[in-house]
Amino acid sequence: MNIEKKQLLRSVLKESLKKQPMKDISRLICDSMLNSKIWQSSQNILFYWPLKYEINLKNLIKSAFDQSKKCYLPKAYSKGNKLICTHSELRSLEQELFRGQFGNMECAGLGLESSSPTSSIIDLVFVPALMFDRKGYRLGRGLGFYDRLIAQLPSKVITIGVIPESLFVEKLDFIDEWDKPVHNIITEKKLTKIIN
């Protein structure tokens, strides 16, 4: 699929997301996640702060704080020609956030850089998208941030794609060599383990 077709599909999907009952979908996803073994065994969780019309995991973040889990938000910045993907700790839902270089909300500070910029402490990562397929591949917003982030994660880290059921499709027609699949997909209906 060429770049123009991918951009057109992104536009269509963004419009589709505006029509989704996101408040209800978000609540059902958070409730389902809280009852999962993955959630119960995770202590250091990389969330995302929702953009408009994305699934909102703030109730899950609140539950993480209540359960003494550590919460992080992704952070991305350019260093020369390279995109650095890292994270910063979110200490409360009232913490001041700012819009990062790529439009996502980030915690203030430099982020945690190490030899592996995503750090070995993270054990669970939530990944947003415009669409996911049954093999765990995603259509994102076109910046490649999450593909780079997933590529840097240690193999023990569990990744979960977050999407409305209606945008969880059989197969995406445009997988590129740099695209990285997630391990699981959660929708308002179920948590699905991806078998590749």
Q: What is the pLDDT along the chain (196 residues), one digit of tens a residue?
A: 567 888 888 999 999 999 999 999 999 999 999 999 999 999 999 999 898 899 999 999 999 999 999 999 887 766 665 656 677 788 888 877 877 766 677 776 655 443 344 557 899 999 999 999 999 999 988 777 888 888 888 889 999 999 999 999 999 988 888 888 999 999 999 999 997 6
Q: What is the pLDDT of residue 62?
A: 95
Q: What is the pLDDT of residue 117?
A: 46
Supply 167's token pair.
């945008």
Q: What is the pLDDT of residue 80?
A: 63
pTM above 0.75, yes or no: yes
Q: Looking at residue 149, which CATH number applies to its domain?
A: 3.40.50.10420
Helix axes 58-66, 22-34, angle to 10 degrees: 30
Distance from C-alpha of 101 to C-alpha of 85, rounded to nearest angstrom: 12
Which DSSP string do the residues of 140-168 spell out, in sequence order?
Answer: -SSS-HHHHHHHHS-TT-EEEEE--GGGE
| Counted domains in the chain | 1
List the domain range (segments joined by +) for residue 185.
3-193
Distance from C-alpha of 195 to C-alpha of 98, rounded to nearest angstrom: 37
